[in-house]
């Protein structure tokens, strides 16, 4: 077959497993050109040009090499949340120009052009009506990370007016939405993050009452600063990070407090998750604090409710969505690594094509 009948498409593969206890580096990934024969679509298939791809902390756990249905494979294309435009269709439900975005399926290949079967396509939302400025946010704060914050806060956090909410990772994809939901429900909101830029973002842009940096602080110093901002204790703690930051907050939990555990990003590179100190365990038990993990997929029957509410809050100006955008498929590895170096504000996405 002549080269004229082949097309070059770039993709990102996992070169080798990272393993527990190690941090991801650029050599864990390979951006490669794939020259493959152009093939006609089969009945029911659609061909899409990828517009945006998402990088998310949960993906780190799929790179350890443990045998699991969700593990990535060495030498194979990585996948996650994405959105793209239909450029060819042999499916009556989709036409050229339709925009699809991740819904219940997080298997959009890190590839410039993809082909989906009819069954695969049914796992994605058609979002032709959404303004262009919101399209990338459908794989971010108006997508799965936003839904995670929405159900974690409203179902597990159950905020009430006048309560005190603390959010770790408060300037990140989930934390910034969780804090804003708390604000909309009448809570006093305290966000924890790293840089001055993020602290300013939480207060000025997101409407948090206070923002605290954990940088260069011990657990006791962070505890004292939190106590000064929450003299009556903490009712809800939306936990994105774990570690000493969470320990400082948990010591301030009030009776019947709620702790939705969304993530533990400080623990993802470690061999094992650090257990809670015994005195904190006892404090939580004595005060009937409900601290537990939750999975957004437990709420998949209510995803439409969450999508609609988040979009309406954003459209009406009641909620701010923000993202850190990278350009080009070659920058997917860097964007992923930057997550664990706290370089993103809001959701991190990579633009692949206009």
* Res 1: pLDDT: 43
- For residues 343 and 172, is the Cβ–Cβ distance under 8 A? no
What's the pTM value of the predicted model, to 2 decimals?
A: 0.91
For residue 208, the SS3 value is coil
Q: Is there a single domain that holds both residue 90 and residue 150?
A: no
Query: Please, which pLDDT band fits residue 265 given cuts at 50, 70 and 90?
Result: confident
- Kindly state the average pLDDT of the residues 253-264: 96
DSSP one-letter string for 18-58 = --TT----GGGEEEEEEEEE--PPPTT-EEEEEEEEE--GG
303 lies in some domain: no
Both tokens of residue 340?
Answer: 């664990």
Place of tokens 């003299």: 231
Residue 343 included in any domain:
yes
155 and 120 within one domain: no
Q: What is the mean pLDDT of residues 106-123?
A: 94
Looking at the 3D structure of the chain, how many domains does it have?
A: 2
pLDDT score for 267: 81
pLDDT band at 93 (very low <50, low <70, confident <90, very high): very high
Q: What are the counts of helices (DSSP H) followed by strands (DSSP E) for the chain? A: 10, 17
pLDDT digits (tens, 9 = 90+) for 60-87: 989 988 776 578 999 999 999 999 999 9
Question: Could you report the per-residue pLDDT of 214-239, keeping only the tens digit for each?
Answer: 999 999 999 999 999 999 999 999 99
pLDDT attached to residue 266: 81
The domain containing residue 188 runs over which residues?
A: 144-296
Question: Is 238 exposed, middle or buried, given 0-12, 13-18 or 19+ CB atoms closer than 10 A?
Answer: buried
Higher pLDDT, 129 or 47: 47
Whether 173 and 238 map to the same domain: the answer is yes
Nearest CA among 291, 189, 206, 187 for reference residue 246: 291
Residue whose token pair is 């994105």: 240
| CATH (domain of 158) | 3.40.50.720
Q: Can you tell me the distance from the alpha carbon of 86 to that of 94, in angstroms, rounded to the nearest whole number?
A: 8
Percent of the chain with pLDDT over 90: 84
């Amino acid at each position: 077959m002549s080269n004229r009948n082949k097309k070059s498409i770039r993709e990102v593969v996992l070169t080798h497993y990272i393993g527990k206890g190690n941090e991801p580096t650029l050599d864990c990934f390979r951006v490669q050109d794939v020259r493959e024969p152009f093939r006609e679509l089969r009945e029911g298939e659609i061909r899409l040009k990828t517009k945006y791809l998402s990088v998310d902390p949960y993906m780190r756990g799929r790179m350890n090499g443990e045998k699991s249905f969700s593990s990535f494979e060495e030498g194979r294309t990585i996948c996650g949340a994405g959105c793209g435009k239909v450029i060819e269709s042999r499916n009556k439900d989709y036409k050229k120009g339709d925009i699809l975005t991740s819904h219940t399926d997080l298997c959009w290949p890190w590839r410039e052009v993809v082909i989906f079967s009819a069954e695969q396509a049914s796992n994605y939302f058609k979002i032709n009506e959404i303004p262009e400025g919101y399209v990338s946010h459908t794989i971010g704060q108006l997508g799965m990370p936003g839904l995670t914050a929405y159900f974690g806060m409203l179902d597990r956090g159950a905020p009430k007016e006048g309560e005190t909410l603390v959010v770790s990772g408060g300037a990140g994809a989930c934390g910034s939405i969780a804090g804003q939901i708390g604000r909309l429900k009448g809570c006093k909101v305290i966000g924890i993050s790293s840089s001055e830029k993020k602290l300013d973002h939480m207060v000025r842009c997101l409407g948090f009452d206070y923002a605290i940096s954990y940088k260069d602080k011990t657990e006791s110093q962070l505890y004292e600063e939190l106590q000064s901002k929450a003299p009556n204790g903490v009712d809800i703690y939306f936990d994105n990070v774990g570690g000493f930051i969470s320990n400082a907050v948990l010591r301030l939990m009030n009776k019947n407090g709620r702790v939705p555990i969304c993530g533990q990003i400080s623990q993802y590179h470690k061999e094992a998750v650090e257990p809670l100190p015994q005195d904190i365990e006892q404090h939580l038990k004595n005060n009937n604090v409900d601290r537990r993990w939750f999975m957004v997929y437990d709420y998949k029957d209510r995803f439409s409710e969450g999508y609609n509410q988040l979009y309406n809050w954003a459209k009406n100006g009641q909620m701010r969505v923000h993202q850190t955008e990278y350009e080009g498929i070659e920058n997917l590895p860097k964007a992923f690594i930057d997550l664990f170096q706290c370089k993103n504000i809001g959701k991190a996405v990579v633009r692949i094509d206009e």
